[in-house]
């Protein structure tokens, strides 16, 4: 028995020629998380109910290969991974779904707690639940996020002393780790003391010119001009505008397994299924499958 990966990098078992579909399903399904069974249901029936309708195979088609493709490209997402590679499903915004606007209330003013040096864990949690919003997803999950009070190297430490290994480097934003080198601290303090802020269209600070020149020396080819936005979404918005203006074309190809930012255009370009609520308001983005060898390879090859 050989092994092959799917679009999430999870290894699935590949069956030798002649294996029947039911046997393939029975062996693959336990690797994916399954929902609890209803009373009296059997696991085999539950698995088969998760499968899409099987179309007749063309002459010479490889049954196992076609089944794997269907498994990865189902309307509701890859088998066992809801919404992964899911197709776009427009949301039904009916009048009944909209909540009435609340009556405006006068500002109550800053309370005395804002002058306190520290807050209790309960007060912080209340502030999260009542006032904290997440950027491009429902905000309710914020109440379950850990309260990080310290960072160290590649670790995050919450208010209970629990250590989390930061696998993502904070969405690839903390490239130096969480222990900021003293040289970076000194350079930041020096610039803050000399010129804390300057609007980019009204003047040039020396460090901006020097960094632009350094980037030009390091980058390949004729990449010689540089813009320093506040974040990745703003950078992608600028890239989209420049590409469309330079080429005169509207369509941009983006991959299903991707994230490009939380603003309108960058989220429309994103392949993650959570883009659905904004996708109808932006146009010109064509989704393609990722060229991932573990998920999409020649059916005769062995990984």
Per residue in 257-269, pLDDT (tens digit) is 888 988 889 989 9
How many separate domains does the chain show?
A: 2
What is the per-residue pLDDT for 293?
Answer: 62
Mean per-residue pLDDT for 94-109? 78
CA angle 226, 228, 231 (to 5 degrees): 135
Residue 87 has pLDDT above 70, yes or no: no
Count the neighbouring beta carbons within 10 Å of the beta carbon of residue 261: 20
In a domain, 272, yes or no: yes
The predicted structure's pLDDT at residue 96: 61
Q: What value does the mean pLDDT take over residues 228-252? A: 94
Q: What is the C-alpha separation between 177 and 168, in angstroms, rounded?
A: 11
Q: Does residue 271 fall inside a structural domain?
A: yes
- Indicate left, alpha or beta for 40 from its phi (over 0: left) and psi (-120 to 50: alpha): left
Q: Which of 32, 54, 72 is the last residue of a domain?
A: 72
32-46 per-position pLDDT tens digit: 444 554 555 444 433
Instruction: Give the separation between CA 264 and CA 279, rounded to whole angstroms.
Output: 8
For residues 211-240, give the mean pLDDT. 93
**Structural domain that includes position 38:** 2-72
Domain boundary among 17, 40, 72: 72
Confirm whether 47 is domain-assigned. yes
How confident is the model over 120-140, as a mean pLDDT? 89
* Domain's final residue, options 48, 72, 96: 72
For residues 208-228, average pLDDT: 93
Residue 147 is assigned to a structural domain of this protein: no
In a domain, residue 103? The reply is: no
Residue 38 falls inside a structural domain: yes
Minimum mean pLDDT among 137-146, 147-156, 192-201, 270-279: which range?
270-279
48 domain-assigned: yes
Max distance between CA atoms of the chain, in angstroms, equals 77
Q: Is residue 231 within 8 Å of residue 265, measured between CB atoms?
A: no
DSSP lists the bridge partners of residue 285 as: 252
Identify whether 294 is part of a domain. yes
Q: How much is the pTM?
A: 0.60
- Confidence class of residue 55 from pLDDT cuts 50, 70 and 90? very low
Indicate the average pLDDT of the chain: 76
């Amino acid at each position: 028995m050989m092994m092959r990966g799917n679009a999430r990098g999870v290894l699935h078992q590949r069956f030798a020629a002649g294996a029947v579909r039911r046997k393939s399903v029975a062996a693959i399904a336990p690797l994916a998380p399954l929902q609890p069974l209803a009373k009296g249901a059997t696991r085999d029936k539950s698995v088969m109910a998760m499968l899409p309708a099987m179309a007749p195979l063309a002459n010479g088609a490889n049954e196992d290969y076609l089944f794997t493709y269907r498994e990865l490209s189902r309307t509701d997402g890859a088998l066992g991974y809801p919404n992964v590679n899911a197709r776009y499903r427009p949301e039904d915004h009916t009048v009944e779904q909209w909540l009435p606007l609340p009556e405006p209330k006068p500002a109550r003013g800053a309370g005395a707690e804002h002058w306190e040096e520290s807050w209790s864990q309960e007060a912080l949690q209340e502030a999260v639940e009542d006032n904290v919003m997440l950027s491009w997803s429902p905000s309710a999950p914020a109440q379950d996020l850990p309260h990080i009070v310290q960072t160290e190297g590649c670790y995050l430490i919450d208010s209970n002393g629990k250590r989390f290994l930061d696998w993502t480097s904070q969405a690839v934003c903390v490239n130096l780790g969480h222990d900021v080198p003293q040289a970076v601290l000194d350079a930041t303090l020096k610039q803050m003391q000399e010129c804390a802020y300057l609007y980019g269209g009204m003047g040039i600070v020396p460090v901006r010119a020097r960094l632009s020149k350094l980037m030009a020396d390091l980058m390949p080819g004729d990449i010689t001009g540089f813009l320093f936005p506040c974040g990745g979404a703003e950078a992608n918005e600028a890239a989209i505008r420049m590409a469309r203006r330079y080429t005169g074309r509207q369509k941009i190809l983006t991959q299903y397994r991707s994230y490009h930012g939380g603003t309108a255009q960058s989220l429309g370009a994103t392949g993650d299924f959570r883009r659905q609520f904004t996708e109808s308001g932006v146009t010109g983005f064509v989704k393609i499958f990722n060229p991932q060898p573990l998920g999409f390879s020649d059916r005769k090859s062995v990984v």
